[in-house]
Amino acid sequence: MCECPDWASLTLGVFVCQACSLLHRSIPHITRVKSVQDTWDASEVELMAAMGNTAAKAKYEQKVPAFYYRPTHTDCKLLREQWIRAKYERNEFEFIEKQEPYSAGYREGFLWKRGRDNGQFLSRKFILSEREGALKYFNKQDARDPKAVMKVETLNATFQPAKIGNPCGLQITYLKDNSTRNIFVYHSDAKEMVDWFNAIRAARFHYLQVAFPGASDEELVPKLTRNFMKEGFMEKTGPKHTEGFKKRWFTMDDRRLMYFKDPLDAYARGEVFIGSKENSYTVLAGLPPSTQGYHWNHGITIVTPERKFLFACETEAEQRDWIAAFQRVINRPMRPQEYAVEAHFKHKP
């Protein structure tokens, strides 16, 4: 997880980066950190030599489930801190029975969910059932019928603390009638929220094992959950290119480019499929010379087999980042199942 391990935990015998050293400091009863630049006495050096990162990993990570998310230095604080606590404070990966909250195939509990229309967060009952292949939530505690049924097949979860305004904020997406639906949830207990996240990953893992019986764990794990490739505001115009440009929030989720009026909208105003260069998709910097009605000066044109999509970014840096994200997708050959998704977009009214 650590990029530049220039700190050490004297109690655990592992080297960590500065960011992780701050997280280790939050559990002083388990770990005591020290900079490698400080003066060390012989006993401290001996302790580090006796353990070290390889031996510590063999001990503290001996039974990490394949589906369990191992955070990197780019992940949010919540995931990194709970990974450290799971390893060193709760010893979850030494004793399999401690993994029951996310490994049992069934999870039930209450999460604060953002209301679609009024934006208020209200307590809602959620049930995740691998047997039913679905995550459900209920508007009333004693309700028999769920408000929504989210199939594990299309389920995704990604932590969005800044966007949701809560350190435990999780964005859950799923497909409903082949359009993306967002729900935004959080829990006041960090462990609870990460357990929900890993329970979703476990359900996805077991679903994919059945769907792709010959696939290895290494092939399946990257498909469990995904972070969005890029998000942010751009301006867009309509299909005739004569309407004024409107500011919208854009989310690039694999080959789906979605736009919303507000970042926390439940449904996208529209979705654009981004195919590959072999299928005549290209991205260009700038807008056609005749274009009018934009306020931001850094244009992007996406050319698809059907039409051109015009966008404008506020800064040159944003334009560069968006073009790089689009180019990564366009450069990747399409998988067989993506042709079916493309066909659906072509037949949308």
* CATH code for the domain in which residue 34 is found: 1.10.220.150
Q: Is residue 2 part of a domain?
A: no
What's the rounded mean pLDDT across residues 293-317? 96
Q: Tokens for 158?
A: 């990604």
**Is 1 part of a structural domain of the chain?**
no
**Which of residues 72, 96, 120 is at a domain's end?**
96
- pLDDT for 314 beyond 80: yes
Percentage of the residues of the chain whose pLDDT score is greater than 70: 98
> Which CATH number is 210's domain given?
2.30.29.30
CA atoms of 295 and 274, how far apart (whole Å): 25
Q: How far apart are CA 136 and CA 335, in angstroms?
A: 30
pLDDT for residue 252 = 97
- Tell me what pLDDT residue 2 has: 62
Greater model confidence, 256 or 24: 256
Q: In this predicted structure, what is the pLDDT of residue 219?
A: 96
Where residue 99 falls among pLDDT bands split at 50, 70, 90? very high
Same domain for 244 and 283 = yes
Percent of the chain with pLDDT over 90: 71
Q: Domain ends where: 223, 244, 264?
A: 223
**At which residue do the structure tokens 């890993």 appear?**
198
Q: Is residue 88 part of a domain?
A: yes
* Assigned domain for 247 exists: yes
The pLDDT of residue 30 is above 60: yes
User: What does the pLDDT look like over 323-347, one tens digit per residue?
Assistant: 999 999 999 999 988 898 888 886 5
Residue 329 dihedral angles phi and psi, to the nearest 5°: -70, -45
150 inside domain: yes
Has residue 5 got a pLDDT over 80?
no
Check whether residue 83 and residue 142 sit in a common domain.
Answer: no
Q: Domain range for residue 320? A: 230-347
Q: Are residues 236 and 341 in the same domain?
A: yes
Output the average pLDDT for the chain.
92
Confidence of residue 349 (pLDDT cuts 50, 70, 90): very low
Both 68 and 109 in one domain: the answer is: no
* Same domain (yes/no): 205, 250: no
135 located within any domain: yes
Residues 334 and 269 in one domain: yes
Assign residue 261 a region (left: φ > 0; alpha: ψ between -120 and 50; beta: otherwise): alpha
**Residue 236 sits in the same domain as residue 339:** yes
Residue that terminates a domain, selected from 96, 123, 151: 96
Query: 298, exposed or middle or buried, with CB in 10 Å at 0-12, 13-18, 19+?
Result: buried
Same-domain pairing of 218 and 235: no
112 and 219, same domain (yes or no): yes
Map residue 189 onto helix, strand or coil: coil
Are residues 239 and 323 both part of a single domain? yes
Report the pLDDT value the prediction gives residue 52, as an integer from 0 to 100: 81
List the 134-138 sheet strands across, edge first. 148-151, 134-138, 121-129, 106-114, 179-186, 170-176, 156-159
Q: Looking at the structure, do residues 121 and 87 belong to the same domain, yes or no?
A: no
CB 105 within 8 A of CB 194: no
Q: Are residues 88 and 191 in the same domain?
A: no
Determine the Cα–Cα distance for residues 234 and 143; give it in Å rounded to an integer: 41
User: How large is the average pLDDT for residues 47-73?
Assistant: 90
pLDDT at 168 (0 to 100): 98
- Cα Rg of the chain, angstroms: 23
Domains in the chain, number: 3
